[in-house]
Amino acid sequence: MPRFWLATRWAIALLISISFELLLNGPAGAQAAPRARAYTRSAHLMGSHFTFTAVSADDSLAWRALRAGLRETQRIDRLFSYWDSTSQVTKINRLAGIRPVVVDQEVVDLIARTLKISALSGGAFDITFASGDKIYKFDRQAHASLPDSATVRHSVRRIGWQKVQLDPIKHTVFLPGKGMRINLAGILQGYGVRRAQELMKKMGIAGGLINGSGDVYCWGQQPDGSGWRIAIGDPARPQSVSSWLTVSDLAVVTAGNYEQYFTVDGRYYGHIINPHTGYPATGLRSVTIICPDVELADALDDAVFVLGPVEGLAFINRLKGVSCTLIDDSGQTLVSKGMQLNSYHSAAPAAAAHPTSKP
């Protein structure tokens, strides 16, 4: 029986193939009750491709819910965009070092949650990464060398999540240093998916799937009653699959580094920057987080990328209700404690959850 296939994808080219069972009416003349089917709508949002899927026996309800989910994501994009000159995030950045900015409670709340994740991850996740100097060009080309160490150290001088000043009473955000900036790109797609899903479910959509370019949340069941099958791509073989799992009421979020990168002496350097050192995070090609909260998963994949395979796995193993699977620079698949994957032939054998040394 055909199933729903979806490969998680954020910055890496991962396989997405979705098939729906064809649902037929009863015999001619019979007054059969409407049967559930899957309705899908796609849009370009937050600079990425989003797909909204609703499972329903009521086509009018399904289309209303899809439109509502899309509009909610658009609203969030306008509110938090780093690039939109009218967004509240842009205003915070524009007035850095000048004065606090009054913002919506929603903005205060999301920034507060990012700071908690920063503290939890030891600063591996940091929305002030945008304060760093642009010293790299991720053009997929071979470069002669990395920037010199003094330039790299200087590039991160304004970064620091601890510097962000929130006043929950006055609803203000203040960046105390001139040139400081925040960018919520590392969590915003997950937040948009979460809010859209909550809205669609409240409207009566008991099953569905939203994919924000690799930030995936699925709930309920497919039209045939089965769970949602999520495929994880193979970084070494674009458009192929390394493993898969079947889930429901869970987020599966993947980050990777082979769409935006450069190489030096044959080594890949991806676009995710370690906010402590200023150098691109190394050691991993792909990170997939599985947990009930798609917003949290969206932030954790970047944190694990920065921490690397050893510290990243140890970090996830300390978190309740969170699992991960990683693909390191050597192509080996690593999994957290209790994580069960179905591997394809293209996947490297799964390793122990506690590797003893970095690759």
Confirm whether 28 is domain-assigned.
no
pLDDT band at 32 (very low <50, low <70, confident <90, very high): low
The CA R_g of the chain, rounded to the nearest whole Å, is 21
Contacts of 150 (CB under 8 A, 6+ apart): none
Domain count along the chain: 1
pLDDT at 31: 60
- The pLDDT score that the predictor gives to residue 220 is 97
Whether 124 maps to a domain, the answer reads yes
How many CA atoms does the CB half-sphere of 356 hold within 13 Å?
0
pLDDT of residue 126: 98
Evaluate if residue 10 carries a pLDDT over 70.
no
pLDDT at position 343, please? Answer: 76
β-pair type (228-233, 241-247): antiparallel
Report whether pLDDT(237) > 50.
Answer: yes
Q: Is residue 177 part of a domain?
A: yes
Determine, yes or no, domain membership for 159. yes
- Does residue 17 surpass a pLDDT of 50? no
Instruction: Give the type of residue at 122.
Output: G
Give me the chain's average pLDDT, please: 87
Give CA 41 to chain center in angstroms: 20
> What CATH number is attached to the domain comprising 256?
3.10.520.10
Residue 53 covered by a domain: yes
Q: Is residue 30 part of a domain?
A: no
Nearest to 127 by CA among 87, 64, 184, 166: 184
115, part of any domain: yes
What residues are designated binding site? Answer: 186, 298
Per the structure, the complete domain to which residue 207 belongs is given by 1-20+35-359
pLDDT digits (tens, 9 = 90+) for 45-102: 999 999 999 999 999 999 999 999 999 999 999 999 999 999 999 999 999 999 999 9
Task: Look at 18-22, 71-75, 119-123 and tell me which has the smallest mean pLDDT.
Answer: 18-22
pLDDT digits (tens, 9 = 90+) for 305-355: 999 999 999 999 999 999 999 999 888 999 999 888 887 754 333 333 332
Q: Specify binding-site residues for Mg(2+).
A: 186, 298
For residue 353, the model assigns a pLDDT of: 30
